[in-house]
Copies of this chain bind each other. A is one copy, B any other.
Amino acid sequence: MIKAPSPPELRLDNQICFAVYSTAHAFAQAYRPWLEPMGLTYPQYLVMLLLWERDGRSVNELAQPLQLDSGTLTPLLKRMEKAGFVTRGRDDKDERITRIHLTDFGQSLQDQARRIPAAMLCNSGLDLNRLNELREQVQELGKSLRQA
């Protein structure tokens, strides 16, 4: 019994979903040498980016930009609290809300983090303009997929 060859549109190499999936993992690996010395994982670093922009966010104010839910964030934030990056406490006015605040230590890590973007630009093998164009296209793609 002869088996038909796999159609080209099902080949792994032709899947943009896999290109994105695989490159996402490559990014996490590329960040590791910078993040591990700080004691941060890659998703925790994303949380730090948001808190450096604006401190005292609620879980939802982290979840929305990151597109994550409380099932992911709650244990992640507990680990970050245990590691001394943030504090977790209920909002004074509305006890439903958990507010996340940077510790002095967490705030202080921003100085080290400032060196990362230039290093990653170098690792990317692209110039800043092309990388920004690519970023916008990938952002648009993500947006289309989410509303589809």
What is A's interface to B at a CB cutoff of 8 Å? Answer: 3, 6-7, 9-31, 42, 46, 49-50, 52-53, 55, 65-67, 107, 110, 113-114, 117-118, 120, 122-126, 131-132, 134-135, 137-142, 144-146, 148
User: How far, in Å, is A30 (CB) from chain B's closest CB?
Assistant: 5
B66, B110, B124, B146: which contacts A29 (Cβ < 8 A)?
B146
| A interface, over-half SS | helix
Contact yes or no, B23 A141, CB < 8 A: yes
Contacts of A113 in B (CB 8 A): 10
Contact yes or no, A131 B31, CB < 8 A: no
Contacts of A53 in B (CB 8 A): 6, 10-12
